[in-house]
Amino acid sequence: MAKITYIEHNGTSHTVEVKKGLSVMEGAVQNNIPGIDADCGGSMACATCHVYVKEEWFDKVNIKLEGEDDMLDQAYEPTKHSRLSCQISVTDDIDGLIVNLPEKQ
C-alpha cells in the first residue's frame, strides 16, 4: 500500500491508501475522488486523467512512456509537471505521493 494525496483544484485534499500494482488513476477512481475522468479506461488514449505531480515527486515516479507527451498535448492546461495518472504505477517508492488535479479534464 502507498499513501497518495490527491488535491482537487479547489484545494480539497484526499489522502487514500492505494494498493501496489495499481495506477494512480485507478487509485482515484476506486476511491471516488472527483476530478479524474479516465474516459478511455487507462489505455493512454484520452488525457482525461491528467494530474500535476508535486515538484519534489516528479523525478521519483516512473518515467513517461513514448506517446504520453503526445496525449498531454491535448490535456487542459498542461505544465512541465503534467502526467497522465493512468501511466504512474503505484510502488513502495512513491508512498506519500502528492498530485494536484487540474481545473477540469
Taking Cα atoms as reference points, which of 6, 2, 17 lies closest to residue 52? Answer: 6
Contacts of 53 (CB under 8 A, 6+ apart): 61, 81, 82, 83, 88, 97, 98, 99
Residue 58 touches other proteins, criterion: CB under 8 A? no
C-alpha cell at 48: 482525461
Site string for other proteins, 21-50 (x = CB under 8 A): ----------------x-xxx-x-xxxx--
Restricted to residues 65-94, the positions that interact with other proteins (CB under 8 A) are: 69-70, 73-74, 76-80
Residue 55 touches other proteins, criterion: CB under 8 A? no
The footprint of other proteins (CB under 8 A) covers: 37, 39-41, 43, 45-48, 69-70, 73-74, 76-80, 103, 105
